[in-house]
Structure 1
Amino acid sequence: MIYAVWIPLLMPFLAVPAARRLADALTPVRAVLLLTVTGVGLALCGLITLVLLVVPGATRLSVVHALAELVRPLAGAAPAAAVPLSAGALALLLTCAVAVTRAARRHWRELGAAPPSDGPVDGELTVLRDSRPDAYALPGRPGTPGRIVVTTGMLRALGPAEREALLAHERAHLVGRHHLFAAVAEAAALCHPALRALCAPMRYALERWADEAAASAVGDRRIAARAIGRAALATRAAASAPSPRPPAALAAVAGPVPRRVAALLGHGSVRPRTGRAAAAVLLVCVAVSGAAALDATSDLHSGIEAAQSGHR
């Protein structure tokens, strides 16, 4: 346990460079799924590690010592190191728990919190009478349909075919429940600082997923690319006025739009070799982290059994 317990805390730092190359090297759907597995796997292994670090110092407390029926202290758990280390690990665990809980509650409040409509409402589509060009998908709570919100300023900025592509993009966010993937990446980032670097690739991959869905819906990749580019330019031209867009919203004009447009036009094609290499690195990081967490857990269990029997 002495060495294995630290591996899950170090693996996220090795995974980050591969994650940054993943979004451009794989198809968007595969990139999203792999980033989700990576974030969840590494975050869980890190939390398990913190729990394992708490136990040796906790057994120094008389109450825990009695409940665990220990005849002697755990081997290698010297008070000078074990107690401060356990206290620090416990503080980190509590910090993660509080941060994730707050983020979950904030996300729940934001779901479905669309601004009141002062224009036409057609099923999932809400039109706001606002000269500022904007459009976004606002997911709803479970059992509640999400909404596509678009301003009259955005509708005037695009042609009919471009409007169709833009709405198809936002609809793809709702159908794919993309906000859940973004929320998972945010939660993982709250559990380990290195995993914050997964949020940007995740957001980019989600937008690329919706871009491809829009191109498929209108049957023309150039129209989809033009719609995204013109929408971004219109939004940027009116950037002096603050947008009423809720924090939970997913918008077609978010992220690195030039990269997304280039990908739609075929200038940023998928690179299978790079994608396979990056995916392999991420999966190895998750596997090694999981194996190390299991090994450290088994070692701790053996140490507790030895302490209970009094054998060294």
Structure 2
Amino acid sequence: MHLAVYLPLLLPILAALATRPLTNRLNPKLATWLLTVSAVALAAASSAALALLALAGLARIPLVDTLGHWSTRVMQHDNPTALWIALIAGTLLTTAAVAAARIFWRRARALYAAAAEAACLPGTGELVVMNDPAAEAFAMPGRPGRIVVSTGMLHALDPAERDILLAHERAHLTGRHHLFTAAVQLAAAANPLLRPLATTVAYTVERWADEHAAAACGDRRRVARTVGKAALAATRTGARPRFPAAALGILGLRPASPRTPGPVPRRVAALLATPPARRTLPLAAATVAVLLVSAVCSIEAAHDLDALFDLAHLR
């Protein structure tokens, strides 16, 4: 409990610093999986650490010791967790639980709304054409999922580019990218230090879809040109995202300000560059090592706390 319990609270900082190298050097699909699993695991480990600290500190209170039939002397003398640390940990844990519950409820409602809206769209095919001069395109998860494209977007692209657009949006549906973004947003709500991972996963799922489209058409430069043309068409026609929160589109996250560049230039540059190297073992192994350290520290801290309670019972 001395140091092991605090490491899971600090490792998310290391994970946040590693997001950019993972994004730039790994295949987007692998990067998305690693970042999502890491975010969920680190959020769980940090929440467990806060719970252990809060429980250890509460055990210092004589009334709690009486109710638990523990030795107050042992808890006061051998317990390394100060009461003020326990109070901070309990406050943080409560705040994280409330934030995670709110995000879970919002994401669940968004997914339900997207599925319900997808089922109500006209026609029975995968593609739905929306009569709107604003250039828009997005994939709505559901059973089945639907791809919605505006007439403004179709007019902005040639036939080959339309196929690339559909391949991109289809990748969002088949890869269930909405589940990755939902999971990492839930983890970031539980631990705000993981917010860089949530932002990065929103980018990597778009890169995943870009690479899928590039594999389908066999021309990365054409995909890069299509992404750029779609972004320019959306800007020129004044398109505003009106789709459900759970939907994903080829333009990805929009910048908060029109003067702020979004992720599209990075995606175009990545498509024009050499594909990510396949020698991903070192980065993947480093990520797994961080997760193992976090898990081992949590287990060790829980074991130490259990041993403290056993000692307090014996005396």
Q: TM-score range by the shorter chain?
A: 0.7 to 0.9
Of 2-11 and 51-60, the range deviating more from structure 2: 51-60
* 2:46 corresponds to: 46
Summarize deviations over 1:236-269 as a string: whole Å, max 9, x none: 2234x5331222221111252222223323x143
* 1:249 corresponds to: 247
**Partner-residue secondary structure (3-state), 1:136:** strand
Summarize deviations over 1:141-193 as a string: whole Å, max 9, x none: xxx22221111111111111111110111111011110111111111111222
Of 22-31 and 253-262, the range deviating more from structure 2: 253-262
1:195 to 2:194 alignment: yes
Structure 2's unaligned 5+ residue stretches are 254-262
Question: What residue identity is the alignment partner of 1:288?
Answer: V
Question: What residue identity is the alignment partner of 2:16?
Answer: V
Correspondences of 1:22-41 after superposition (within 5 Å): 22-41=22-41
**Partner-residue secondary structure (3-state), 1:111:** helix
**C-alpha deviation, 1:226, in angstroms:** 2.1
Distance in 2 separating the partners of 1:189 and 1:146? 26
* 2:275 corresponds to: 269
1:233 to 2:232 alignment: yes
Distance in 2 separating the partners of 1:294 and 1:118? 48
Summarize deviations over 1:260-305 as a string: whole Å, max 9, x none: 223323x1432456x5444343222222211111111111111100
- Assess if the C-alpha contact under 8 Å between 2:27 and 2:278 holds in 1: no
**C-alpha deviation, 1:117, in angstroms:** 11
Distance in 1 separating the partners of 2:59 and 2:112? 47
Distance in 2 separating the partners of 1:281 and 1:262? 27
1:8 to 2:13 alignment: no
Distance in 2 separating the partners of 1:119 and 1:177? 20
1:123 to 2:151 alignment: no
**C-alpha deviation, 1:2, in angstroms:** 1.6
Question: What residue identity is the alignment partner of 1:201?
Answer: T
Question: What residue identity is the alignment partner of 1:9?
Answer: L
**Partner-residue secondary structure (3-state), 1:298:** helix
- Assess if the C-alpha contact under 8 Å between 1:262 and 1:268 holds in 2: no
**C-alpha deviation, 1:207, in angstroms:** 0.8
Distance in 2 separating the partners of 1:117 and 1:43? 34
Question: What residue identity is the alignment partner of 2:104?
Answer: A
1:55 to 2:55 alignment: yes
TM-score normalised over the length of structure 1: 0.88
Distance in 2 separating the partners of 1:118 and 1:3? 54
Distance in 2 separating the partners of 1:118 and 1:33? 31
Question: What residue identity is the alignment partner of 1:50?
Answer: L
**C-alpha deviation, 1:118, in angstroms:** 11
Of 120-129 and 176-185, the range deviating more from structure 2: 120-129
**Partner-residue secondary structure (3-state), 1:149:** strand
Distance in 1 separating the partners of 2:165 and 2:8? 41
Question: What residue identity is the alignment partner of 1:8?
Answer: P
- Assess if the C-alpha contact under 8 Å between 1:130 and 1:151 holds in 2: yes
Distance in 1 separating the partners of 2:152 and 2:78? 67
Are the structure 2 counterparts of residues 234 and 69 from structure 1 closer, same or farther at C-alpha, using a change threshold of 3 Å? Answer: same
Are the structure 2 counterparts of residues 4 and 259 from structure 1 closer, same or farther at C-alpha, using a change threshold of 3 Å? Answer: same
1:307 to 2:306 alignment: no
Are the structure 2 counterparts of residues 2 and 251 from structure 1 closer, same or farther at C-alpha, using a change threshold of 3 Å? Answer: same
Distance in 2 separating the partners of 1:71 and 1:183? 45
**C-alpha deviation, 1:217, in angstroms:** 2.4
Question: What residue identity is the alignment partner of 2:245?
Answer: P
* 1:158 corresponds to: 157
Summarize deviations over 1:89-130 as a string: whole Å, max 9, x none: 222222222211211211122225356999963512222111
Correspondences of 1:136-175 after superposition (within 5 Å): 136-140=138-142, 144-175=143-174
Q: Percent identity, please.
A: 45
Distance in 2 separating the partners of 1:270 and 1:191? 31
**C-alpha deviation, 1:54, in angstroms:** 1.2
Question: What residue identity is the alignment partner of 1:250?
Answer: L
Distance in 1 separating the partners of 2:120 and 2:103? 30
* 1:221 corresponds to: 220
Question: What residue identity is the alignment partner of 1:202?
Answer: V
Correspondences of 1:275-286 after superposition (within 5 Å): 275-286=280-291
- Assess if the C-alpha contact under 8 Å between 1:15 and 1:281 holds in 2: no
* 1:135 corresponds to: 137
- Assess if the C-alpha contact under 8 Å between 2:118 and 2:146 holds in 1: no
TM-score normalised over the length of structure 2: 0.87
Are the structure 2 counterparts of residues 21 and 305 from structure 1 closer, same or farther at C-alpha, using a change threshold of 3 Å? Answer: same
Question: What residue identity is the alignment partner of 2:10?
Answer: L
**Partner-residue secondary structure (3-state), 1:153:** helix
